[in-house]
Structure 1
């Protein structure tokens, strides 16, 4: 299983929008579009960083490449 991380954007630490938890697991997510799926070119779509809340499971998506992840103890 993935290890928990904390995330920050500059000086601001990110928390879950639902439960205010501050531990996440990270996953890359493809932002598929209907047109690219139809043409079988979904692999070329943009990707985002998915931060999945460790506590409630809510998925936060970020395309901002400036988010820093830090290993955390569970």
Structure 2
């Protein structure tokens, strides 16, 4: 089942796709694994980011900024 589309902003700046300028995204959490932590079997402790996948073209945008806000959007 496909997730519902979202719009996103950091502060008062709305995020648009870098490729197609689309405004709708699918959101998912992304682990930012490092080789050292993988080697020590501690990848669970690595930092995470918010992944926004463009609803139209599929380009993946990554945000480590915790101030990103997501809003429900109509398709």
Provide the TM-score with structure 2 as the length reference. 0.95
TM normalised by structure 1 equals 0.96
Find the aligned partners of 1:33 and 1:47 in 2 and give their Cα distance. 11
Aligned to 1:26: 27
What do residues 26-70 of structure 1 show as CA deviations (whole Å, max 9, x unaligned)? 000000000111111111100000001001111100011111110
Matches within 5 A, 1:25-64: 25-64=26-65
For residues 28 and 42 of structure 2, the distance between their equivalents in structure 1, rounded to whole angstroms, comes to 21
Please list every run of 5 or more consecutive structure 1 residues that lacks an aligned counterpart in the other structure: none
* 1:7 corresponds to: 8
Q: Is 1:72 paired with 2:69? A: no
Q: CA RMSD in A?
A: 0.6
Separation of aligned partners in 1, 2:59 and 2:31? 17
Pairs aligned (count): 74
